[in-house]
Structure 1
Amino acid sequence: MPAGPPADDRTLRVLGTGDLAGLEISLADVVDVVEQAYRALADGTSANPRKLTVKPEDGHSVSYAMLGRDGVREVVAVKTSYKHGLDRSRDEQHYYTTLTLYDDVTGLPVALMDCGRVGSLRTPAVSALLARELAAPGSRSALVIGTGTQGRLALPFLLTTLPDLDRLMVYGTHPDGIAAVRERLRHHFPDREPEVVEDARAAAADADVVVATAGRHTPAAVEAADLKPGALSVLVGHGIAPSTLHEADRVIATSEAQMKVTGTDMAGADGGFPPVDAEFPQVLAGRAEGRRSAGERVFAYNSGLVVTDIALGHRFAQLAVAQGLGTRVPLWQ
């Protein structure tokens, strides 16, 4: 193992996409790291302030800034996210996201990293945890809407937390995306094959769990009336209509405040939202009820909290340091 940096080293380790791509971590480990981050937040040892948002009037781009502290790892971090070209096709869009980590014990920087892989793992892991805690008992079928970054690992993560799922459906409009969903599922579960559906609303009627990860231009718009009794709908991106929220028997959000910032397209005609019955960190910690009965239609909003990025990003930084990866930059020298 390469020698580590000096104890007082203030240089910044920069970890690019290529540095992080080869780091091995299992889906179960990702779920465990994310779950620990939520439990620490519920316990009050971590902090996750509301994110800041900047968006021009014409809506062609959106930017977020998120600050947080992981009380278990004693790490402070700032995440930034910038997406340009929201009025264009997916291939024409630009997206950049970074995570900067600082050790709150030593006061030294840990790393500046591309946060793309962290987000691509963290978000479907959260959806899988939501499904584990909120899906009706005996759930056997799942529908994933969207085949982009978040959709491609949704089914493998769902099988990690709900191994009894025996019908795996996917709806998408991009052949390359559908091929990627198939490849990712076979990679993690070689004996499983997704069922590609052409009508998302019809498929939703047969799904115990619906995870909507599609981009804003998706033609899919599953309505509350399309869902079977007891269904869980999880919103990550787009693909389900506002009625699934407003007509739900129970509403769970990773953060109610963030839902009102990033979920404005789900607002009612008056611009309002129904009250959130419980926030997910409290459900995980056993301090709030999730599902109350098998027949409830439950809506879950997965906005992604920066404490989960911090926890998973720090784990990747540890793996990268152990392998001597990254470029050290004397930014403050």
Structure 2
Amino acid sequence: MTETTVAGSTESITADDTTLRVLSTSDLAGIDITLTDVVTTVEGAYRTLAAGQSDNPRKLTVKPGDGHSVSYAMLGRDGSRNVVAIKTSYKHGLDKARDEQHYYTALTLYDDVTGLPVAMMDCGRIGSLRTPAVSALLARECARPGARSALVIGTGTQGRLALPFLLTTLPDLDRLMVFGTHSDGIAAVREQVRAHFPDRDVEIVTDLRAAAAESDVLVATAGGHTPAAVEADWLRPGALSILVGHGLAPSTLHRADRVVATSAAQMKVTGTDMADGDGNFPAVDTEFPPVLAGTAPGRRSARERVFAYNSGLVVTDIALGHRFAQLALDQGLGVRVPLWQ
């Protein structure tokens, strides 16, 4: 049996090759972490990847012919933390309403120095924080200078924290708008903004075309059943459109002046609904890691309409999952499971 520690943790883990620490949904739900901490952690993962120190292969996808479910598997290595991880994701009921769907995602971390497991955890909260943090970084790097207005389309898991994260990286935003079709989701968006920025409020919009025309930054996070579909000719000069889920029409990609993707390969795997009639995508001008590293521009002029595709990279899950593992171990959370006995 070996003593190993998670970097930054005050508690050592008694680990061997038969024991795995499992962190449940409730374990992670009670951990406090600031938006700034999340953004810094995610940004660090991108910078390490841009420096060639991490590995992030394209995700594997399995989807039945009728499209009722989708499964992903992602393997990666974080070179700054010396951590290897595997993430799995499975969603069932894509043909049903959101409250009838089933979704499971898990992340397993291994210490690549000792060769021992660190933890296995539910990845739901990690994804709900990582994705809007990436959108906020995209906005910081790719929005036009002096951007003041932001529109979020969708009020599900990804939409609810989109505005607080945008305010974290673009504090000068003074008009915050949301378009949604679920009253409880709209209320949750307002609640999250007030929780993190008590002096700010959200404008609820019903005329999507008019709101899009007045937005410097648009973040589309809606589910597949959304009626929202912002067209390219609705956008003002200099607008940045960030696609996370749904809510943007393919024209916003195909008629963009500049296309940025977290991963060009993954855009072609997960963004098939944005392809043209022949199944083709326009060329990606740059991936996002070089933009953060300062070796490629996020935009070239204030009037460019920029389209950014936010597809999650497993290295960001690894970094944020490892950060949560640190915080969980400090609090003595989790259960050791003799998995391999």
1:169 aligns with 2:177: yes
1:46 aligns with 2:54: yes
1:201 aligns with 2:209: yes
CA separation in 1, counterparts of 2:230 and 2:10?
52
1:243 is matched with 251
1:24 is matched with 32
* Segment of structure 1 superposing worse, 197-206 or 65-74: 197-206
Shift, 1:287, TM fit: 1.4
* Segment of structure 1 superposing worse, 323-332 or 128-137: 323-332
SS at match of 1:23: coil
Q: Percent identity?
A: 80
Contact 1:208 1:232 in 2 (8 A): yes
2:42 is matched with 34
1:285 is matched with 293
Q: How many pairs does the alignment contain?
A: 333
2:131 is matched with 123
1:214 aligns with 2:222: yes
Query: Structure 1's 23 and 221: CA in aligned 2 closer, same or farther, altered over 3 A?
Result: same
Q: Which amino acid aligns with 1:293?
A: S
CA separation in 1, counterparts of 2:224 and 2:16?
46
SS at match of 2:14: coil
1:309 is matched with 317
CA separation in 2, counterparts of 1:165 and 1:14?
40
TM-score for both structures, normalised by structure 1: 0.98
TM-score for both structures, normalised by structure 2: 0.96
1:111 is matched with 119
1:227 is matched with 235
* Structure 2 residue runs without a partner (length 5+): 1-8
* 1:124-173 Cα deviation digits (max 9, x unpaired): 00000000000000000000000000000000000000000000000000
Shift, 1:202, TM fit: 1.6
Aligned-residue RMSD, C-alpha: 1.1
1:330 is matched with 338
Query: Structure 1's 250 and 108: CA in aligned 2 closer, same or farther, altered over 3 A?
Result: same
Shift, 1:5, TM fit: 2.9
2:5 is matched with none
* 1:253-274 Cα deviation digits (max 9, x unpaired): 0000000000000001110000
CA separation in 2, counterparts of 1:30 and 1:4?
23
Contact 2:11 2:329 in 1 (8 A): no
* Structure 1 residue runs without a partner (length 5+): none
Task: Give 1:66-105 correspondences, 5 Å limit.
Answer: 66-105=74-113
* 1:244-289 Cα deviation digits (max 9, x unpaired): 0000000000000000000000001110000000000011101112
Contact 2:17 2:340 in 1 (8 A): no
Contact 1:2 1:323 in 2 (8 A): no
Q: Which amino acid aligns with 1:96?
A: Y
2:265 is matched with 257
* 1:168-227 Cα deviation digits (max 9, x unpaired): 000000011001101111000001110000122221000000000000000000000000
1:156 is matched with 164
Contact 1:8 1:108 in 2 (8 A): yes
CA separation in 2, counterparts of 1:40 and 1:266?
29
Shift, 1:9, TM fit: 6.3
Moved beyond 6 Å, runs of 4+: none
SS at match of 1:245: helix
CA separation in 1, counterparts of 2:326 and 2:197?
27
